[in-house]
Each structure stands twice: as structure tokens, then as C-alpha cells.
Amino acid sequence: MAEKHASVFRSLKYFNARLFFAGLLLSNIGSWLQLTASSLLIYRLTGNAADLGYNVAFQFLPMLLFGTWCGALADRHNRRRIALISQAALAAQALLLGVLDLSGVINVPMVYALSLLLGIIGAFDNPARRGLVTELVPIVDLPNAMSLNTAVMTGSRIFGAAIATALVGPLGTGWLFILNGVSYAAMIYGLTGLRKSEMYPAIMRPAGGSPVREVFKYVAGNRRLLTMFLVYVAVSTFSFNFGVALPKLADLSWGDDRAFGWVMSVIGIGNLTGALLTARLKTVSMGWFVGNIALLGLASIGMAFASNVWLAFFWSIPLGIGGAAMIASGNAISQQESPPDMRGRLLALTAVAFLGSTPIGGPITGLIADSISPEWSLAYGGVIALVCAVVAVVAWR
């Protein structure tokens, strides 16, 4: 199927979309500051990749357990109000982590506890905030808006990871956590400034019923969605654990653990490219989805065995393109196939598939890095992505 192209930034002709995405960009630069800094902090405290895996498991376990139910909540209540509360709570979590780090009392159990708190808040925030995107533009521009949302979420890594890597030496990780806490003010401002008269209100799910069971039943009865979600879960579980695999790979193969931050930044350039390429499509096809999974797999294997950081930079671009295009495609396809009153639940289900799988894949990746090799902690995910791409093609035929 040939994809039809349109303006990459067509959703930005709407004031609410411009305001929302501007706040999201600034806030997520701060989020990547914290993600990069927390990985460096734990690796420097323990030197073990497995501990990085356990940290991301704590962070994303709430999404696995409660994400779909939080999506049902977002379908039933005011998404902007939920997002405002959760964004304020995320800011408080970051500031508390920064204060504990700067005071010198921080340790690994504290980081784990605050990562769990971050995950609990994020389980409510993710479906509400992403569901709010569906209210910013008319339905014809919804795939574009979802792709731009992915572009901002992943492309902000370019700046956040680079800033964290540049500032972690002179400032330390504590001040990076504080900066992230302050950055949430941009998102809160963006949410409060939305013009209600220019929004496209969601169709609220009626009270009662079995909202979570309904969304699983709907996916099970839709062959395109079911195939996409099964592949999405497998690839997300094993092929996206960069924050676990790369710090040790950077330290042992490329000579400096700070190379982790620079590589993540270059991956962000690829992420932005992949998301914008997807944003050009009026309708996202399954072929585009699968092709980018294959690209992600090949690039993961190439980066795993890169002999120096310059070769890692080379592989970072296609890895970022494939990863972000897969995420954006999954979000867009779920919305293309979604009834209006199920958008929040399907967005939550994609978040559960992508983020909720991390508690499984993260520790496995860390154990592979420590017990087998850092190279295979990244390469095994690439092999699984390639296998999933082949299986998907065979299944659809």
C-alpha cells in the first residue's frame, strides 16, 4: 500500500497543539536530563548493569500493572485535570530526588523507591497526557498529531542527553534532577493555557461496564491491531533497553561511561527523523511499521559490535529512526483503528506494551551485560526485532 504524504507539521496550525507541544518539548528535555543522570548515578554507585535493569523495572512496573486501568480513567474523566495533577507530582518527585542527591544521603534503595514513585505517577499521567493530544486537532490530523507527539518525546533526547552529559561533570547529578523538576513548569503552563473553545472534546465513556475487558476484546477481534500489539510487546520488551545496556558498553568498549550520554543524544537525532517521517503519512501502513522494526534490529546489532564511539554514532542514526518510527506507527495505527470512546484505553494499552514490558526486559538485559557481555546485551534485542519483523510479514501474508 502506498502511503499518501502531507505537511509534516500540519497539526501546528492549531494554537492548542502549538502550545501543548512547546511545553512538552521543554519538559521532556528535563526528563531526559533525569533519565540520563539517574543511569549514570546508579552505574557509578554499583558498576553493574543489572542494577540499571532493576531500576527501570521499578520505574515501569506500575505501568504494567495499572496502565490499562489508568487509560480507562482517562476515558471517563477530564484528561487535562488529570495531567495537571500528575505533572505537578512528577515535578515534586524530581525535586525530592535532587535534594537527596545534593545532601549526600542518596543510595541505590532510595533511587529505586523514587523510581517506583515516578512510575506510579507516570501510569496516571501517560494515558491522560497522550489522550489529551486527541483533543487538540480534528480527527483528520490525528495521526500527524500523534507522530509529532512521538517526535517531541523522543527528539528531546537530543538536547536532554547532551546537556546531561556536558553538565554532569561540573554540576553533578543532583542539580540535573533539580533542573528537571523546574522544567515541568513549562508543561503545566502549556496545559493551563489551552483554549477550551478550540478543543475537540473527547467522547466520554459511559460509567459502568468492564472498560479494560472491552479494550482487550476489541484488540483480540481486530487482526491488524492484535498482530501489531503482539509484535510491539516483543520488540519493546527486549530491543529498547538502551539505558541499561549502553552505560556499561560505553565504559568497557568505548572507554568512557559519559559516551553513553552522547550516543543517546545522537539516537535522539534519529528519533526525531523517524517520527517526522511518520508524521508525513496521512495513513500509516503495517509495512511502514514492520520495515522500521527491521531497521531497528539491524542497527542494534551494528552498534553492539561497534569498536569505537564514532562507529556507535554512525549506527545511532538508523537505530533512532527505526525505534521512533515504530513507536509513532504503533500509536497512529491504534488511533486509526480506534472507536472515539476507546482512544484513551488504546493509548494506554500501547504504553503498557512499550513501557510496561520494561520490568521484564530491563533486568534480563542487565544480567546479560554482567554475565555474558555488554555487546550481547544490546545485540540480542536486535536479533529478536529481526525475528519479529519476519514473523509479522509471514503472519499478514
User: How confident is the model at residue 335, as a pLDDT?
Assistant: 72
**Helix spans in the chain (H):** 15-46, 49-76, 79-102, 108-133, 142-155, 157-171, 173-192, 211-220, 223-239, 242-253, 259-279, 286-304, 309-336, 343-354, 358-371, 374-396
Which cell numbers hold the place of 397? 501474508
At position 326, the amino acid (one-letter code) is: M
Closest CA to 304 of 290, 315, 295: 315
How do residues 33-70 score in pLDDT, each as one tens digit?
Answer: 998 899 889 988 888 888 999 998 898 888 888 877 77
User: How confident is the model at residue 204, as a pLDDT?
Assistant: 56
Ordered by where they begin, the domains of the chain are 11-202+211-396 (1.20.1250.20)
Number of other residues whose CB lies within 10 A of the CB of residue 245: 30
CB 258 within 8 A of CB 308: no
Per-residue pLDDT of the chain (397 residues; tens, 9 = 90+): 344 555 778 888 999 999 999 999 999 999 989 988 998 899 888 888 889 999 988 988 888 888 777 777 777 778 889 999 999 999 999 999 999 999 989 999 999 999 999 999 998 898 888 888 888 988 888 878 888 888 888 778 888 888 888 898 899 899 999 999 999 999 999 999 999 888 887 655 555 556 667 777 887 777 778 888 888 889 989 998 888 899 999 989 998 878 888 998 999 899 889 988 888 887 888 889 999 999 999 999 999 999 999 999 999 999 999 998 998 888 788 777 767 667 667 777 777 777 767 788 889 999 999 999 999 999 999 999 999 999 888 877 6
The SS3 call for residue 281 is strand
How do residues 205-238 score in pLDDT, each as one tens digit?
Answer: 555 556 667 777 887 777 778 888 888 889 989 9
Please, what is the Cα angle at 365 between 361 and 371, to 5 degrees?
A: 145
Q: What is the pTM of this model?
A: 0.77
User: How confident is the model at residue 387, as a pLDDT?
Assistant: 95
Distance between CA atoms of 346 and 35, rounded to whole angstroms? 26
CB 356 within 8 A of CB 340: no
User: How confident is the model at residue 1, as a pLDDT?
Assistant: 37
HSE-up of residue 146 (Cα within 13 Å, Cβ side): 32
Average pLDDT, the chain: 86
CB 300 within 8 A of CB 319: yes
Distance between CA atoms of 21 and 151, rounded to whole angstroms? 10
Cβ-Cβ contacts under 8 Å for 394 (sequence gap 6 or more):
none
